[in-house]
C-alpha cells in the first residue's frame, strides 16, 4: 500500500489512475482490490462522524453489539444499550457496530460522494449505463466485531479509512449460497442477512483491507466482514444501474408467478436484456397484480 497524506488536498482525486484502470477491468461482475486517497479526510474522523450521526434521522442509523455469529437472524441482533453518539465516541471500547445510511443527504458528504463517483462514471456508463440512485454509507466498527453473512442490492465500493478489516466475498448468482426464493424475498423487502453454513467458507475469497485500500463488491455478491484489532471506519459508495434494477424486477416477477403457482423464469447474466419479461412484470404491477 502506498503512503497517504494526512488530509486529501482540495481538488485531489479519490481514486488514482491505476485504481480506475483496475476497476474498469473488473466491473461489473468481479470483486477487486482498489486504492483511494481519502485517508485522513476531515469529514471521516470520529468526532465529525459522531456529530453527523447526531443530526441524522433515527431511520438512517443502525447500531448494535458487534461480536455476532456469521449467520445471526435479524431479530436476534442484540442492542448495545448506548445512544448513537455514545456508541461512536466510545467505539474503541464498547464492542459495537454502527452504520450511518444515506449520508449523501448531508451537503458536505453528498459532495464527497459526487466527487468519488464522477471519477468512475465513464467506466460504469460504458458497461451498465447511467449511475442511478447514488448513496453513501459509513461503517464504524469496534475491534473484533463481525458483520454477518449478507448481500446488498447495489454496486458497491468500500473504502477503508481507519483500522483494518477482512471482507470475505463470495460469487454472485450462486444459488447454493443464495437460493432463488431468498432473492425473490429480498427484492420484495426481505432482510439482507443470509443463512450461513460452515461449508460455505471455502467458496469465498478473503480480502484484507488497510487504510487506503478499497474493494469493489458486485451486486448481491454475498460477503461477511471481520474487523481487526483497532477501530475501523469505512465509507461505502454505491449506485444502481439498469442491470441491478432489471435483476430486481425479474426476481420480483418470479415471486409474483410463484405465488400464483405459475412457472418461474431464469434471471440471466444480463437481466437488462430480458425486456419482454420486464415489460410483462411492469404491466402486471401497474394493474395491481
pLDDT in tens, 142-179: 888 888 899 999 999 999 999 999 999 999 989 999 99
**Does residue 5 form part of some domain?**
no
- One domain for residues 107 and 192: yes
**Measuring CA to CA, which residue among 127, 121, 149 is closest to residue 220?**
149
Nearest-angstrom CA–CA distance, 94 and 169 = 27
Report pLDDT for 50: 86
- One domain for residues 171 and 112: yes
- One domain for residues 189 and 273: no
Report pLDDT for 112: 96
Report pLDDT for 9: 46
- One domain for residues 129 and 253: no
* CATH classification at residue 139: 2.60.120.650
Report pLDDT for 73: 55
- One domain for residues 183 and 280: no
- One domain for residues 205 and 261: no
- One domain for residues 123 and 87: yes
**Does residue 125 form part of some domain?**
yes
**Does residue 9 form part of some domain?**
no
What one-character-per-residue DSSP string does the chain give?
Answer: -----SSPPTT--SS-HHHHHHHHHHTTT--EEEE-S-TT-GGGSHHHHHHHHHHS-GGGEEEEES---TT--GGGPPP-SS-HHHHHHTTTTS-EEEEE--GGGSHHHHHHHHHHHHHHHHHHHHHH-S-EEEEEEEEEE-TT-EEEEE--SSEEEEEEEES-EEEEE--TT-TTTS-HHHHHHHTTT--SB----GGGGGGSEEEEE-TTEEEEE-TT--EEEEE-SS-EEEEEEEEE-HHHHHHHHHHHHHHHHHHTTPPP----S-GGG-HHHHHHHHHHHHTT-
Q: Which residues contact 81 (CB under 8 A, 6 or more apart)?
A: none
- One domain for residues 251 and 235: no
Contact 249, 170 (CB under 8 A): no
Residue 51 corresponds to which cell in the numbers above?
A: 456529530
Residue 152 corresponds to which cell in the numbers above?
A: 446488498
Predicted TM-score (pTM) of this structure: 0.86
- One domain for residues 84 and 215: yes
**Does residue 222 form part of some domain?**
yes
Residue 42 corresponds to which cell in the numbers above?
A: 476531515
| Count of Cβ atoms closer than 10 Å to residue 1 Cβ | 12
Residues in the chain with pLDDT values less than 50: 1-10, 68-69, 72, 76-78
**Does residue 81 form part of some domain?**
yes
Report pLDDT for 78: 47
Which range marks the domain in which residue 195 is found? Answer: 17-240
- One domain for residues 162 and 278: no
**Does residue 201 form part of some domain?**
yes
The count of domains in the chain is 2
Nearest-angstrom CA–CA distance, 137 and 77 = 20
Report pLDDT for 81: 56
Residue 110 Cα distances to 107, 113, 115, 125, 276, angstroms: 5, 5, 9, 20, 36
Amino acid at each position: 500500500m502506498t503512503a497517504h497524506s494526512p488530509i486529501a488536498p482540495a481538488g485531489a482525486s479519490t481514486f488514482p489512475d491505476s485504481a480506475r484502470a483496475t476497476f474498469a477491468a473488473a466491473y461489473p461482475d468481479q470483486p477487486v482490490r482498489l486504492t483511494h486517497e481519502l485517508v485522513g479526510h476531515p469529514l471521516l474522523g470520529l468526532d465529525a462522524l459522531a456529530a453527523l450521526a447526531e443530526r441524522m434521522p433515527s431511520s438512517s442509523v443502525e447500531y448494535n453489539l458487534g461480536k455476532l455469529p456469521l449467520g445471526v437472524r435479524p431479530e436476534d441482533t442484540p442492542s448495545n444499550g448506548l445512544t448513537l453518539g455514545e456508541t461512536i465516541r466510545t467505539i474503541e471500547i464498547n464492542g459495537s457496530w454502527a452504520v450511518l445510511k444515506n449520508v449523501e443527504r448531508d451537503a458536505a458528504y453528498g459532495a464527497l460522494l459526487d466527487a468519488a463517483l464522477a471519477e468512475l462514471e465513464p467506466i460504469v456508463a460504458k458497461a451498465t449505463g447511467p449511475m442511478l440512485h447514488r448513496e453513501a454509507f459509513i461503517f464504524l466498527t469496534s475491534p473484533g466485531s463481525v458483520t454477518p453473512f449478507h448481500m446488498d442490492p447495489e454496486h458497491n465500493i468500500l473504502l477503508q479509512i481507519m483500522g483494518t478489516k477482512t471482507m470475505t466475498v463470495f460469487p454472485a448468482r450462486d444459488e447454493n449460497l443464495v437460493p432463488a426464493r431468498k432473492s425473490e424475498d429480498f427484492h420484495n423487502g426481505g432482510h439482507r442477512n443470509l443463512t450461513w453454513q460452515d461449508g460455505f467458507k471455502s467458496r469465498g475469497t478473503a480480502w484484507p483491507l488497510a487504510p487506503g485500500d478499497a474493494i469493489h463488491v458486485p451486486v448481491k455478491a454475498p460477503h461477511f466482514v471481520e474487523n481487526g484489532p483497532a477501530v475501523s471506519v469505512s465509507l461505502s459508495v454505491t449506485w444502481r444501474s439498469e442491470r441491478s434494477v432489471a435483476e430486481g424486477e425479474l426476481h420480483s416477477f418470479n415471486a409474483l408467478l410463484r405465488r400464483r403457482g405459475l412457472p418461474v423464469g431464469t434471471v440471466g447474466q444480463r437481466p437488462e436484456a430480458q425486456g419482454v419479461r420486464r415489460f410483462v412484470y411492469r404491466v402486471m404491477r401497474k394493474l395491481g397484480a
